[in-house]
Amino acid sequence: MLRSMYAGISGMKGMQTKLDTIGNNIANVNTSGYKKGRVTFQDMMSQSVSPAEAPAGGLGGKNPSQVGLGSQLGSIDNIYTQGNRQTTNRPLDLSIEGDGMFEVRDGNESYYTRAGNFYLDNNGDIVNNEGMYLSDNQGATINIPPNAESFSIQSNGTVSYITPGNATPQTAGPVGLMKFSNPGGLEKVGSNAYRATTNSGAAANLSQPGANGTGSLVSGSLEMSNVDLAEEFTEMITAQRGFQANTRIITTSDEILQELVNLKR
């Protein structure tokens, strides 16, 4: 069979993966804290027709002759650029201006997220929509007493609240932020959460916002998805045309094979 046919098949598979990633990006265009994905490709091994030769016998050297055998998936990267900030005026909506991620805990398991839509449970603990506890800079739960009359969260993560009969504000927290040397190595586990992996880099100690290279908090706002629809639709067009071009390779190769079969009648 012709090598071009299998090269075209590999290109079609790659373009399909690219379209899958673009579709997921567009589906999450309004997902708080979502970080878009990007697909890269690399060529497969090449078949050598003739090797390279050094100059000898009064003749110059020759370059190698190789025929490529198609393309393959190189990587699917998560792009951690800052998303736009949407004002909500809800005090438990938190966005991070800069680097860092919230740590949320499910029992002894820790996850990390940029989605800052938090809530209070019936004990006054700050949790996300999955019921996971938001960690302070010591890894402990942050509690606002149920009888608190009002509360606020500062840009440095400090939680202040006022209880009945006490005019002096009480404090809790501060909210902890985690920073990774390689956030691209984090593994998505769904529900806007990530899990640390062996290649995400060692997780530094939880820090107060603004310390150790982490960003500051903005209460009353949410970080939206960093998906750019114009860019995604452009990438969709290139992926579609790439897919079509690879199908033409296959149909052309098939026509050549048909001609070969027709040599014997």
Buried b (16+ CB within 10 A) or exposed e, 69-85: bbbeeeeeebebeebee
Q: Which of 42, 44, 45, 48 is nearest to 66 (CA)?
A: 48
What's the pLDDT at 44? Answer: 87
Neighbours of 108 (CB within 10 A): 5
What's the pLDDT at 1? Answer: 60
Put simply, whether the predicted model's pTM sits higher than 0.85 gets the answer yes
What's the pLDDT at 203? Answer: 66
What's the pLDDT at 166? Answer: 84
**pLDDT tens across 121-161, in order?**
999 999 999 999 999 999 999 999 999 989 999 999 999 99
Instruction: Give the strand pairing for 119-120 and 126-127.
Output: antiparallel
In angstroms, the CA 161 to CA 135 distance is 18
Those residues of the chain that have pLDDT short of 70 are 1, 202-204, 265
Output the CA torsion sign for 50, 54, 57, 58: positive
**pLDDT tens across 87-123, in order?**
999 999 999 999 999 999 998 899 999 999 999 999 9
